[in-house]
Amino acid sequence: MQRLLILETTCDETAAAVVTDELEVLASVVASQDELHKKYGGVVPEIASRAHVERILPVIDETLRRANLKPGDLAAVAVANTPGLAGSLVVGVAAAKALCLALDVPLIAVNHLQAHIYACRLAAGRDVFPCLGLIVSGGHSSLYHCRTPLEFDLLGGTIDDAAGEAFDKVASLLGLPFPGGPAMDRAAQQGNPKAFDLPRPLLDDPTRLDFSFSGLKTALRYRLCKPGETMPAQPLAPELISDLAASFTAAVVDCLWGKTALALRKTGLKTLCVGGGVAANSVLRARLQQECTTAGIELFIPPMRLCTDNAVMGAIAVERLKAGLFESLDLDAFPGLVRPASQK
């Protein structure tokens, strides 16, 4: 049995996990940075990268301790090197390369977005490929034809804000605390989703599998702010906040499901896998379950702990290990979606 150490530092979570080549999770540690970014209302890249520097070694040490392993027991080290915040990615990649050099073990690169879909494979306990992959997170809203765990064809994505980014911005507009996604979810559960008629951008365009949430966010702001204002002049009543949160959430979910349904029809796929932090949203989870049951689509959504960033989902590295897909020690970090051919 081979054991892999996996590192995840793509954004503001410093995470590590140890998994076996049989996908058994021996340990998982996640160090959150929510408190560091709360007063800014969003993730500050420089603060995130500095926090990773401080936390990466203690997180690795604690993960190995919980797995009851020594560094020499590892067969390989894997690290998410794309996409993400540049400074954050560099910390994880540097740590992984140093370990591989010191231990003389292979280095494995992980695509963070593919890993989000692989979390569905881990939760299911069986193969889920081929499938349609819907990734909804703070930085990404994308649809993929996932032919295998390592072969993803992009079908469409956001042309502006990602769904999670839009939730965070609207949460700030409504005076809700950071992180905005969970706060919006809680507020929406108390509100009326039909209280405000908000737009559903691109939803009626059958030729595109893209998302757009920036205009939806702006439409809500116009309901609250006078011309020239960026924030409401007065604090909002709790009932109004709940209704706005519910109406905004309903619009986002309509857009996500509408394009997902279109992609399912176009591809003929009968399996849907959903990953990313927004996959933890209760309204989205309920809607997807309802629609997929009605349409006869097999749905896989990870448990909450595997929706937000973590290193366990990086167990997709096991697929690369078995395929002999290793990286040299000059592996670089790629903040965007453009990657060397060896990592596609």
- pLDDT value at 344 more than 50: no
| Residue found under tokens 């349904």 | 261
Residue type, 236: L
Domains of the chain: 3-116+307-343 (3.30.420.40), 128-304 (3.30.420.40)
Beta pairing, strands 13-20 & 25-32? antiparallel
Pick the residue with more confidence: 226 or 284? 284
- pTM value is 0.93
Structure tokens at 68: 């009851």
Residue 336 burial class via C-beta count within 10 angstroms: exposed 0-12, middle 13-18, buried 19 and up: exposed
Whole-number average pLDDT of the chain: 94
Residues 106-138 pLDDT 10s: 999 999 999 999 999 999 999 999 999 999 998
Residues 46-105 pLDDT 10s: 999 999 999 999 999 999 999 999 999 999 999 999 999 999 999 999 999 999 999 999
Residues 143-193 pLDDT 10s: 999 999 999 999 999 999 999 999 999 999 999 998 899 999 999 999 999
Q: What is the largest CA-CA distance in the chain?
A: 64
d(CA 194, CA 281): 18
Structure tokens at 319: 């697929």
d(CA 188, CA 245): 5
- pLDDT value at 203 more than 80: yes
Average pLDDT over residues 192-208: 96
